[in-house]
Amino acid sequence: MTPQQLDATFAALADPTRRAILARLSLGETSVNELAKPFDMSLPAVSKHLKVLETAGLISRGREAQWRPCKLEAGPLREAFGWIEHYKKFWEQSFDRLDEYLRKLQAGEGAKKTKPKKTDRNK
């Protein structure tokens, strides 16, 4: 996924109505009328949101039948959440490393490392 595509995915996800639409579609494909029901919103307004989702590749819309079923496309979502997972892991793992480092310090092993060195090998 290119940065531009990821950008479009995130922009699509940054709206609560669109997230609610995706949540509903995760239960199965359905029509625009069905999707519009929970919202106090006109059909054209809902269609606008669907257009953003479709452009981002998060949903696809069938052409058969008059009701053009909307379907969730999982690939882009998985990629976007991959990035959020990465961010989350960063914090989780930094705590793990601090834990480990504190244990070592208190066990005396780390004491040598914090003395000033003449040569800095940390490049």
Residues that bind other proteins (CB under 8 A): 3-4, 6-7, 10-11, 13-16, 19, 81, 83-85, 87-95, 97-103, 105-106, 110, 113-114, 116, 120, 122-123
Both tokens assigned to 85: 């997972």
Choice between 16 and 28, CB closer to other proteins: 16
Least distance (Å) between residue 48 CB and other proteins: 14
Alpha helices per DSSP H over the chain: 3-13, 16-25, 32-36, 43-55, 74-106
Classify residue 100 as exposed, middle or buried by CB count within 10 Å of its CB (0-12, 13-18, 19+): exposed
56 CB contacts (<8 Å, ≥6 apart)?
A: 5, 8, 9, 11, 12, 76
Choice between 13 and 53, CB closer to other proteins: 13
Choice between 69 and 76, CB closer to other proteins: 76
Question: Phi/psi class of residue 68: alpha, beta or left (left: φ > 0; alpha: ψ in -120 to 50)?
Answer: left
Least distance (Å) between residue 21 CB and other proteins: 14
Least distance (Å) between residue 3 CB and other proteins: 6
Choice between 39 and 83, CB closer to other proteins: 83
Least distance (Å) between residue 81 CB and other proteins: 7
